[in-house]
């Protein structure tokens, strides 16, 4: 599972969406058009001119190697490539996916002199953005770091003062960027940081950042990730969110207004409050289990919220057991108990449920659950005891 410290729901944008945002923030990108059908791709190519590049739009890298990026010299070739790429299944370099290609980005072909790598990530351990630059672009950052760690120049950015032109220039110099394009590369980094900051991004990766034959510096690719919690203040970004491409549980949770993050284990987790939810994940992991999700039912959870939460958790076929860890403050444990009882009447939970209730009205809650005598529901007094029990119930 992902360590709980990096537990953040994010929106991964497609290349063309990232490039549209880049353009709005002054980052130079090749001219291009979005297409969903072969006809749209042909119209786009005719408008852009030849040669053009037909690019598969999926949320993973390595498209080039997978055959998802092709240069077309003519209308005929555009048709041939679009036909081949639309509907193609692409698997990521780390086995992600496969993702089926439903969308294309057709853009003017660039004459490439050099391929660089640039990224800005949120470095949580330093609580600062981190800019990285290398003249060894085209391959992924792990490969660069592997081949020659000194070829990857890293610099933290002070969030108060941002990235100055001078600092960016120094980065470009340290990375060994060709002297004639140092200024343009530095300018690009400053603009990328501006976009990162204004968009509440957690990652912006441009690989490759190219130097064209005319010695222009252009973003040829974009991998942009936005913090979901900030989407409310970025309407233009939220509009990119494709609910149909979302994980089914995450989509369901979003529709129900729940704070939910899918993980890859088999133990469904529900707790109230982000802090308790995080520690529940840790305790379950410590007990040898693998959490299937993070679900914060929030303070003051009412029965309806519990029913909705259980619907989301049980719709994940991987879930083999569920842990309810509730510490009642504003939340009343009797309300939680009523929610569990109501949910078990409305949906088939189908897996063992371990419940730990403590705090406000816990006695009333426990009494209600004891009286309801639900099948395969087990009460535990402590968080550790409940964690051990749920791991045992999941048989993992």
By the criterion CB under 5 A, which residues form the site for Mn ion? Answer: 207, 221
Cβ atoms of 361 and 332 within 8 Å: the answer is: yes
Q: Any contact of residue 63 with ligand GDP (CB under 6 A)?
A: yes
Stretch that binds ligand GDP, among 63-71, 188-196, 288-296, 353-361 (CB under 6 A): 63-71
The CA distance from 101 to 56, in Å, is 6
Q: Any contact of residue 92 with ligand GDP (CB under 6 A)?
A: no
Cβ atoms of 128 and 155 within 8 Å: the answer is: no
Binding-site member from 28, 62, 176, 194 for ligand GDP (CB under 6 A): 62
Q: Any contact of residue 110 with ligand GDP (CB under 6 A)?
A: yes
SS (HEC) of 224-270:
EEEEHHHHHHCHHHHCCCCHHHCCHHHHHHHHCCCEEEECCCCEEEE
Stretch that binds ligand GDP, among 33-41, 109-117, 169-177, 303-311 (CB under 6 A): 109-117
Binding-site member from 18, 32, 129, 208 for ligand GDP (CB under 6 A): 208
Binding-site member from 141, 220, 252, 310 for ligand GDP (CB under 6 A): 220
The CA distance from 380 to 396, in Å, is 19
Q: Any contact of residue 42 with ligand GDP (CB under 6 A)?
A: no
Binding-site member from 25, 28, 38, 64 for ligand GDP (CB under 6 A): 64
The CA distance from 83 to 41, in Å, is 10
The site for ligand GDP, by CB under 6 A, has a size of 16
- What are the residues whose beta carbons fall under 8 Å from the beta carbon of 181, sequence distance 6 or more? 211, 215, 217
Q: How many residues does the chain have?
A: 396
Facing residues of 267 across strands?
A: 291, 321
Q: Residue 229: phi, psi to the nearest 5? A: -65, -15
- Write down the catalytic residue from 20, 167, 205, 311: 205
Active site residue 111: no
Binding-site member from 109, 230, 245, 374 for ligand GDP (CB under 6 A): 109
**Which residues are the active-site residues?**
117, 205
Tell me which residues touch ligand GDP (CB under 6 A). Answer: 53, 61-64, 69, 71, 109-110, 112, 115, 138, 207-208, 220-221
């Amino acid at each position: 599972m992902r360590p709980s410290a990096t537990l953040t729901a994010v929106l991964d944008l497609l290349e063309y969406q990232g490039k549209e945002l880049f353009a709005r923030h002054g980052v130079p990108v090749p001219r291009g058009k979005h297409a969903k059908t072969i006809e749209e791709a042909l119209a786009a190519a005719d408008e852009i001119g030849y040669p053009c590049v037909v690019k598969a739009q999926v949320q993973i890298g390595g498209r080039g190697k997978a055959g998802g990026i092709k240069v077309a010299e003519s209308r005929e070739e555009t048709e041939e490539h679009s036909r081949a790429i639309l509907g193609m299944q692409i698997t990521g370099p780390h086995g992600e996916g496969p993702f089926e290609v439903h969308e294309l980005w057709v853009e003017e072909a660039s004459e490439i002199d050099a391929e660089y790598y640039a990224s800005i990530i949120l470095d949580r351990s330093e609580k600062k953005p981190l800019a990285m630059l290398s003249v060894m672009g085209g391959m992924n950052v792990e490969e660069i770091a592997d081949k020659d760690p000194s070829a990857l120049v890293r610099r933290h950015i002070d969030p108060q003062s941002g990235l100055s032109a001078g600092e960016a220039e120094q980065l470009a110099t340290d990375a060994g960027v060709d002297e004639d394009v140092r200024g343009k590369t530095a300018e690009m980094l400053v603009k990328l940081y501006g976009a990162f900051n204004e968009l509440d991004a957690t990652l912006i990766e441009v690989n490759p950042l190219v130097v064209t034959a005319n010695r222009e510096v252009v973003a040829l690719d974009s991998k942009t990730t936005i913090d979901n919690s900030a989407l409310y203040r970025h309407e233009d970004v939220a509009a990119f969110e494709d609910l149909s491409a979302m994980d089914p549980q995450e989509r369901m949770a979003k529709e129900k207004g729940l704070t939910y993050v899918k993980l890859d284990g088999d133990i469904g987790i529900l707790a109230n409050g982000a802090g308790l939810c995080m520690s529940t994940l840790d305790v379950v992991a410590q007990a040898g289990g693998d959490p299937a999700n993070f679900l914060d039912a929030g303070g003051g959870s009412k029965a309806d919220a519990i029913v909705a939460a259980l619907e989301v958790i049980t719709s994940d076929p991987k879930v083999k057991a569920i842990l309810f860890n509730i510490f009642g403050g504003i939340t009343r444990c009797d309300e939680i108990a009523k929610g569990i009882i109501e949910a078990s009447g409305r949906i088939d939970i189908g897996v063992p449920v371990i419940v730990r209730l403590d705090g406000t009205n816990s006695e009333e809650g426990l009494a209600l659950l004891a009286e309801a005598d639900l099948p395969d529901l087990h009460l535990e007094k402590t968080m550790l005891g409940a964690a051990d029990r749920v791991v045992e119930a999941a048989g993992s």
